[in-house]
Structure 1
Amino acid sequence: MCKQANQVDSKLKTVTSGDQTEVLIKGRWYSIKDFARKHPGGRIVNFYRGKDASQAYREFHTRSTRADKWLKNMKSRPAKEGESVVDTDALTKDFVQLRKDLEAEGFFKPDYVHVCFRFAEIIAMHAIGLYLAFNGWLMTGIAILGVAEGRCGWLMHEGGHNSLTGHIPTDHFLQVLTYGLGCGMSAAWWRNQHNKHHAMPQKLEHDVDLNTLPLVLFNLDAAAHQKKAPKSKTWIRMQALLFPNLICSLVAAFWQLYLHPRHALRTKHYAELVCMAARWGFIFAYLPQFYGFWNVFACAVLANGIGATYIFCNFAVSHTHLPVVKADDDVSWVIYSAKHTMNVDSGAFGWVDWWMSYLNFQIEHHLFPSMPQFRHPIVSKRVKALFEKHGVPYLRMSYVDAMKTTFGNLDQVGHAFYG
């Protein structure tokens, strides 16, 4: 898109509070000294030390009355002249107004019929997949079970963003069930990590989704900011071929068998451990009584690999090939969504919307993370108009082009890393 006369600068003005123990929210500086230990969302609050966190606070705490109560009780002071830049640039002002309009029009309200359909879908897919797998349609059943596992990942993602029922405890409970039973993973771990990604997507030393070594590398600039180095030159050079199925399967297995159970145990999320145990008990204790252990084991490994490949490859198209933000740079909430994520077109009859559970609208999802995701296609037209008004690119590709770009980037980075 060509530049327009009113194109915005992606950088924010630097705001400082005199020290790095305060964050700016809606014109007031709040002391966060020692607050990270108490913050329910973890150390993500440290990302905004000395910075304007107004948009992030609004989007992360849309439905949380508890957060507003905490904020009122925190030590604060009004921002001095020149310290506050909240809502002052034209793009942010218009974004804030758009958000208010969308909220008033009901776009953030949950749809319980839609939620029931989503859960009915994954239950039906598991039932059909199990029946087919053990009644003469083995590979078809395994494929359906793999996709069902991936769709549990899509569904729990929405629960983690509090956009299913709109009631935070209920959404988190549904996320625990869906992620624990459906994927064998920890909802609390996911929320802790994923919120860091949403706070500052593609920002070095902030977005945890950039920390992918030693198994895979999506961006050359990210390599120098990671603690782990690749174990094999050949592996990285071949990562475009290895990523679907093998790398995705290894990541999923590491999460399921070590990282997520350890986190749930360490943080005392015992309900998550119960759900994980129930999943593995059903697969490896109950089913083998009828079909034999090794038959069930082989089917489970294949289905797990399909599920991991399905969801990780589809997530990869949204960010991994886009530019990163330097660790010491700051960009606005809207620019993070505009320049460091992208959309995938809905395709014929909206098949991509179903296949990616509406997360093909990543721009809208990053702008409004607590909005029910099935409303993103409608909202996208107004977001696109907002971006065009301010000369901001609205990045979008077809599904095929997005996959080509993603795997082309993997191949290019893999070969360029070692020269």
Structure 2
Amino acid sequence: MHGREAGPFVCVCVFLASIPTPQTPLLQASLPPFHPASAGHPITGQQDAFRAFHPDLEFVGKFLKPLLIGELAPEEPSQDHGKNSKITEDFRALRKTAEDMNLFKTNHVFFLLLLAHIIALESIAWFTVFYFGNGWIPTLITAFVLATSQAQAGWLQHDYGHLSVYRKPKWNHLVHKFVIGHLKGASANWWNHRHFQHHAKPNIFHKDPDVNMLHVFVLGEWQPIE
């Protein structure tokens, strides 16, 4: 990635773990279709990003041997592009501090209560229209309640979509599909496909679908391109 002067740009997402470092190349053709590398965004060289996407390294290690196609020679270019090693060390130290503070451990009661209050708000909105009709006041109240619940549901499905709540991916997928499919009326597969691209190339114009509206929301002096 390099910079090009442009209008201002705002970082949509700060992905703490996506600091690229030399890593064993992966055979892209062997990856499943929903994997970010198979969508045209190879993750070669992103050791920290790999760790963030695969919290159970022992489990995922079982599938890596067939994908090993060789180590990078020391003189071979990587995706580092002369990055500042001190920045990488600082981020890894920050991650270690967060791990020591148990910030990566899930509070299941919190997520259960969050889901429960979203369902409660959705029920209140339905009851308001059902009981009081579609006048201006009931409609405004319903709109406010639904806006709150839908915003909360959007962030909740994000955490389940990242498989970051339960240890088993199956349960994360089930709740994710319920929240985004039944509460928000969207496709879990569609969201995963776009979000994988976002994290594979965060904030890179024409690569990250989350920053396609660059002409509307642009702040800063540099435009990240590839």
Shift of the alpha carbon at 1:66?
4.5
Distance 2:90 2:65 in 1: 27
Q: Which amino acid aligns with 1:199?
A: A
**Residue 114 (structure 2) pairs with residue 118 (structure 1):** yes
Q: Which amino acid aligns with 1:169?
A: K
Could you tell me which of 39, 42, 47 is aligned with 1:48?
42
Sort the Cα spacing of 1:45 and 1:146 in 2 relative to 1 into closer, same or farther, 3 A: closer
Aligned to 1:165: 166
Aligned to 2:71: 78
Distance 2:168 2:75 in 1: 38
Q: Which amino acid aligns with 2:138?
A: L
Sort the Cα spacing of 1:63 and 1:138 in 2 relative to 1 into closer, same or farther, 3 A: farther
**Residue 107 (structure 2) pairs with residue 89 (structure 1):** no
CA contact 2:26–2:67 (8 Å) conserved in 1: yes
Aligned to 1:154: 155
Structure with the larger helix share:
1
Aligned to 2:9: none
Aligned to 2:16: none
2:70 counterpart SS class: strand
Q: Which amino acid aligns with 2:89?
A: K
CA contact 1:202–1:210 (8 Å) conserved in 2: yes
Shift of the alpha carbon at 1:131?
1.6
Aligned length, in residue pairs = 200
Q: Which amino acid aligns with 1:32?
A: L
Give runs of aligned pairs for residues 3-402 of structure 1, distance below 5 A: 27-36=22-31, 38-43=32-37, 46-48=40-42, 52-63=45-56, 66-83=59-76, 89-136=85-132, 138-139=138-139, 140-211=141-212, 217-219=213-215, 320-321=218-219, 323-327=222-226
1:125 counterpart SS class: helix
Aligned to 1:284: none
Q: Which has the higher contact order (CA 8 A, sep 6+)?
A: 2
With 117-126 and 77-86 compared, the bigger mean Cα shift is at 77-86
Post-superposition Cα deviations, 1:248-269, rounded to whole Å, max 9, x if no partner, equal xxxxxxxxxxxxxxxxxxxxxx
Distance 1:143 1:27 in 2: 48
Distance 2:69 2:84 in 1: 21
Q: Which amino acid aligns with 2:146?
A: L
Distance 2:154 2:35 in 1: 20
CA contact 1:63–1:168 (8 Å) conserved in 2: no
2:145 counterpart SS class: helix
* Aligned CA-pair RMSD: 3.0
CA contact 1:131–1:141 (8 Å) conserved in 2: no
Ranges in structure 2 where 5+ consecutive residues have no aligned partner: 3-19
Q: Which amino acid aligns with 2:147?
A: G
Distance 2:21 2:225 in 1: 26
Shift of the alpha carbon at 1:88?
7.4
Sort the Cα spacing of 1:72 and 1:107 in 2 relative to 1 into closer, same or farther, 3 A: farther
Sort the Cα spacing of 1:147 and 1:28 in 2 relative to 1 into closer, same or farther, 3 A: closer
1:67 counterpart SS class: helix
Shift of the alpha carbon at 1:173?
1.0
Q: Which amino acid aligns with 1:78?
A: E
With 39-48 and 171-180 compared, the bigger mean Cα shift is at 39-48
Distance 1:97 1:31 in 2: 27
